Structure 1
Amino acid sequence: MIKNVAAAVVFHDGKVLICRRASGEKLEGFWEFPGGKLEAGESMFDCIERELFEELGVKARGREILAVSFYAYEHSEIRLTGILTELFSDEISLTVHDAFDWVYPVSLSEYKLAPADIPIAEAVVKYGID
């Protein structure tokens, strides 16, 4: 069964937010756009707002869908939806991540991104250029 997952694409001063999965977490050491699994009865926008509050301690608003990626990991298949998202706070508290960074889109390829996030990163680069 394919899991629906939302990923926040947050821009600030021309940079985009990425977070590194902490030790002991699935995909530990990989960088990703923060987010998580869709719960029953939830829209993608509701999901991204809930997940950012749970994972980063920030209030946010999902604005529009940027891109969708499909990926079959060893343990599951996911449909990752990259959502342009606005944060209402700069105070980030990490829970399932051990680091975060604000990165220029063209520099995303320098990071070890989770495989499902790579097509989202490519869309971010294109979006940042347009």
Structure 2
Amino acid sequence: MNHSATPIAESAPIVEVVAAVILQPDGRFLLTRRPGGKVYSGYWEFPGGKVEPNESLLHALERELWEELGIHVRQAHPWITRVFSYSHATVRLHFFRVVEWEGQPSSREEQELFWQSPHQVDVSPILPANGPILQALSLPPVYAITRAAETGIEAALQHIERALQNGLRLLQIREKQMAPDALRDFAGKVLELARPHQARVLINGNAALAQELGADGVHFTSPQLMAMSSRPDPGYGLCAASCHNAEELFAAEQLELDFAVLGPVQPTLSHPGLSPLGWRRFATLIRGYSLPVYALGGLHREDLPIAQEMGAHGIAMLRGIE
């Protein structure tokens, strides 16, 4: 399930490449500038390189980071895989998030190094294949989902305000049972709370309401996803979708959505009719996937490390607002 930025000829060989998103605790990541004499010299990219024959991806990552930067990888998680066609080659880029390492990154191949923030990338030009990766890095690890019908509107707004103060930056308004006028009023109040914190708010299933209120995007239901033939107009902002199986993940990928949510991973009261995937099945479904994926279903904040170890971007939680 690999997304291609440009059409790939049937006979074009694909070069397997590993790329490292080396992450500081504050979210900053390392970019390196390609030295003179190389293709795309002067362009900034994530460190990494070609996978050698019969070499595992993780071993290739460890080897490349030692050769390029003089660091030993202690902990790295698979993340996003994307296929991109350059004029000189078609590459399959296997991105890993490196969260622990030994040593201080230093230039061992005459390349420049620069730590960057997901919300302010100051270097250019960036290697073309890395644009979607920079966008994905701006997505926070927790995606909270409202449940005002269960807690009551006033309590829900109080919980949301507290969560925003505590760092929540991505929120989905999902209120299936709320009357249209009440939903419009509730969503408007949530947006008012979110704006001062620069948190992004998506509205579930209602693109018209999202546009009317100036929300940051739309979260499509799986039936809506499967009925779509093209990505919505850019005016919708962020576009995400709920997925439960490989077919729905494939549809989200083909539509080039910004991210997907996959679940339920564990048993959940909100989807009693769906059998939980479990972590092994979850990891298998998103292996080699080109979009950021949030794990959903019976999860809590302490499940974030295992979700990311399995390849998830983060976790989505109905109770992530409390």
Question: Which of residues 103, 125, 134 is equivalent to 1:121?
Answer: 134
- Scaled by the length of structure 2, the TM-score of the pair is 0.38
Q: Do 1:6 and 1:82's aligned partners in 2 also have CA atoms closer than 8 Å?
A: yes
| Contact kept? 1:80, 1:117, Cα under 8 Å | no
**AA aligned opposite 2:70:** G
Question: Gaps (5+ residues) in structure 1?
Answer: none
Aligned length: 129
1:77 partnered with 2:90: yes
Larger strand fraction of residues: 1
SS at match of 1:49: helix
The residue that corresponds to 1:90 in the other structure is 104
Question: Given residue 55 of structure 1, which amino acid in structure 2 is its aligned partner?
Answer: E
CA RMSD of aligned residues (A): 1.9
Residue number among 86, 106, 117 corresponding to 2:119 in the alignment = 106
Show CA shifts across 1:27-46 (max 9, x none): 10110000001111212111
Partner SS, residue 139 of structure 2: helix
The percentage of aligned residue pairs carrying the same residue is 34
Alignment pair present for 1:9 and 2:39: no
Structure 2: how far apart are the matches of 1:7 and 1:82? 5
Change in 2 beyond 3 A, CA 1:32/1:45: same
1:20 to 33, 53, 56: 33
CA distance in 1 between partners of 2:75 and 2:44 (Å): 20
Q: Which has the higher helix share?
A: 2
Task: Say yes or no: does 1:43 pair with 2:46.
Answer: no
CA distance in 1, matches of 2:62, 2:53: 15
SS in 2 for 1:117: helix
> What one-letter code is carried by the residue in structure 1 that aligns with 2:117?
Y
Return the offset for 1:14.
2.4
**Corresponding residue for 1:60?**
73
1:20 shift after superposition: 0.5
Paired with 1:83 and 1:114, the residues of 2 have a C-alpha distance of 17
Aligned equivalents of 1:83, 1:76: Cα separation in 2? 21
- Letter in structure 1 aligned against 2:132: P
